[in-house]
Amino acid sequence: MTDDTGERVTRRRFLRTGAGVAAAGVAATGSAAAQEDGGGGSTEITVGPGGSNVFDPETAYVEPGGTVKWVWDSGGHNVAVESTPDGAEWTGHEPIEDAGFEYEHTFETEGTYEYVCTPHASVGMTGVVEVTTDPPEEPQGYQSILPNSAKTLGVAAVGSMTSVLGLTYFFMRYGGDYGEGDHE
């Protein structure tokens, strides 16, 4: 089989080209996701993961201008503010919500924001948002700056490209619907 320039198309050349295309697609997906973030970073906190009475992570780090999203994994929880830095305007989300609810806030003022789940404060359901330009190295520093939708899109794109490459290889290897004289 030959390409448009008359050169022979080998499996190795085909797969090398396909791998390059797949890598470019993954890089483009990551760049688009990073541009979408808009600065300041973002993180997601799971409220009551698996029915437990905790915020996961208990301490989240974001830069000034960063957004924190709380996602309820179980019901009967809220986010009630205990303390904020001077000049900060954050009121939390006091109504009790059920699984699937989401609440987010963008933090502009540097400092420590402490909050609790009112119904479960007595069993230690507390959380902290640290808004800082200098997060600690351990344990994690800033949490996920890449939205889950971008990660899913990247995985789907790579899967799609791999499928196309696999089918193309199969047809190149084993043939297809060629008329007489159309193949070598």
Per-residue pLDDT tens over the stretch 29-71? 444 444 344 456 789 999 999 999 999 999 999 999 999 999 9
* Helix, strand, coil percentages, rounded to 5, for the chain: 35, 30, 40
Q: Residue 175 has what pLDDT?
A: 74
From residue 40, how far is each of 70, 107, 145 by CA, in Å? 17, 9, 9
The Cα 52–Cα 77 span in angstroms is 10
Per-residue pLDDT tens over the stretch 96-107? 999 999 999 999
Structure tokens at 66: 């960063």
pLDDT score of 180 more than 60: no
The CATH number, out of the four listed (3.40.50.1370, 2.60.40.420, 2.60.40.1180, 3.30.460.10), of the domain defined by the range 42-144: 2.60.40.420
Lowest mean pLDDT among 39-48, 77-86, 175-184: 175-184
Better-predicted residue by pLDDT, 115 or 177: 115
- Rounded to the nearest angstrom, the gap between the alpha carbon of residue 27 and the centroid of all alpha carbons in its chain is 15
Q: Residue 110 has what pLDDT?
A: 95
Structure tokens at 68: 């924190």
Torsion angle defined by CA atoms of residues 93, 99, 101 and 103, in that order, rounded to the nearest 10 degrees: 40
pLDDT score of 27 more than 80: no
Read off the pTM: 0.56
Per-residue pLDDT tens over the stretch 111-166? 999 999 999 999 999 999 999 998 776 545 455 555 667 778 888 888 888 888 88
Q: Residue 36 has what pLDDT?
A: 40
Query: What is the C-alpha R_g of the chain?
Result: 25
Q: Residue 145 has what pLDDT?
A: 53
Torsion angle defined by CA atoms of residues 69, 71, 77 and 78, in that order, rounded to the nearest 10 degrees: 20
The Cα 129–Cα 112 span in angstroms is 6
- Whether omega for the bond prior to residue 95 falls within 30 degrees of 0, making it cis, is no
Q: Residue 30 has what pLDDT?
A: 46
